[in-house]
Amino acid sequence: MPIEQLLTAFPSVLWRTLKSVPSSLPPTIFDVAPAEPHGLRRHFEPTARYWLRTEVHVHALAVAASVLLSFFPFLIVMTSLCKYGLHWKGAVSAIYLALNDYLPGDMGSFIRRNLVAVVESRGPMQITSIVLLLLTANGIFEPMEVALNTVWGVKENRSYLKNQLLSLGLIFLCGGLALFSFILTALNQQYLGSFLGFGSALPPIVNLALFKIAAVPISMLALFFVYWLLPNRRVPPLRVAPVAILVGLAIELLKYLNLLAWPLLKERLQNEYGPFYISVTIVLFSFLSAMIILAGAEWAARDVPMQQPETVKYGDAHEKLEEDRGGEPTPDSRA
């Protein structure tokens, strides 16, 4: 056979040979699916993958920035309400106790001194602080709703107006729970001090224990309301109740880790940020707390059926867009 005919017939011979090979070859090691994780890895590996998503960090940073903006106005409003509204020094002392508990070292004392000076200089009317609190606290719940909707598979967020109304309700709800924890701490100090014969001057360790008894369950209840009410869908309460308890305990553990690491952390932050180290500390703690809260939401939503988005045809979407713009739908909008 001439060489030209051999080269011409070679592709067709090769193609027939390949077609004759069985398509169902035995599986190789590369075709085997990876083994399912077991033990603790089965519970925490999906959360670790969730933490590595970019949008999770964006939402947590947005929440942390809003916490920084609303932190001091919240303290001003609560202290003014307890001092000038309720005329209760015990509740004011409970606020200072909570401040020293959450902010380690001299940072808590520094903020307390400035808080006392601001409240005493302005008097009972704190209109500016109330307005700032309402505006900045709303910024906490906006990115939180978007993050929780993503976790629960919700494709559409609430409108801006509905989000603001719900955020306003959560502000009053969480603020009321915080005020209730301060009042409950003051009552415990008053009655237990009278019962034990200490008067109003209980030992610091007893005051701290009374504050924990009141504050930790109430913070868990506030987390439950956030998990339950904020997503734009019906959330089973029994799915989020245990998660709210675990997340509350995790944030309490994070606070103690912050207290233990504070001597070393303070030196590093002061060298890098100078006078802004207090603000950076609040942002970092709020960011880590937000990451824990979002991880709890991912844990609660795991294995729950996601909401499927409705199928919208191009013509329907085009006609809706024309109506939103104020125009008439085109005759060929459904083409």
pLDDT digits (tens, 9 = 90+) for 59-95: 999 999 988 888 888 888 888 888 887 777 777 777 7
Q: What share of the chain in percent tops pLDDT 90?
A: 15
- The phi-psi region of residue 21 (left if phi > 0; otherwise alpha if psi is between -120 and 50; otherwise beta) is beta
* pLDDT tens-digit readout, 310-334: 444 444 544 544 454 455 554 444 4
From 112, 110, 95, 94, select the one nearest 202 (Cα to Cα): 94
Helices (H), 274-334: 277-301, 314-324
- The Cα-based distances of 327 to 179, 314, 317, 323, 324 in angstroms read 51, 17, 14, 6, 8
The model's confidence at residue 307, banded by pLDDT at 50, 70 and 90, is very low
Q: How is the chain split into domains, by residue range?
A: 48-301
Q: CB of 266 within 8 A of CB of 105?
A: yes
The label of the residue with tokens 């107006």 reads 161
pLDDT digits (tens, 9 = 90+) for 234-268: 888 888 999 999 999 998 888 888 888 888 888 88
| 189 has pLDDT over 90 | no
Task: Decide which of 10 and 278 is more confident.
Answer: 278
- Spatial CA neighbour of 71 closest among 83, 60, 63: 63
Instruction: Centre a 10 Å sphere on the Cβ of residue 310 and count the other Cβ atoms it contains.
Output: 8
Question: Is pLDDT above 90 for 181?
Answer: no
User: What pLDDT does residue 296 have?
Assistant: 92
What is the tens place of the pLDDT at every residue in 291-305? Answer: 999 999 998 888 665
Per-residue tokens: 124: 């009972």
Distance of CA 198 to the CA centre of its chain: 40
Selected residue with higher pLDDT from 230 and 129? 230
**pLDDT above 90 for 3:** no
Angle formed at CA 188 by CA 102 and CA 82, multiple of 5 degrees: 65
Quick check: 13 pLDDT over 80? Answer: no
Evaluate whether 283 touches 64 at the Cβ level (below 8 Å).
Answer: yes
Decide which of 219 and 315 is more confident.
219
Residue 11 confidence (pLDDT) above 70: no
pLDDT score at 228: 92
Q: What amino acid occupies position 309?
A: P
Mean pLDDT of 157-167: 86
124 or 301, which is more confident: 301
> 305 with 286: CB under 8 angstroms?
no
66, with CB counted inside 10 A (0-12, 13-18, 19+), is buried
The pLDDT confidence band at residue 120, using thresholds 50, 70 and 90, is confident
The model's pTM is 0.72
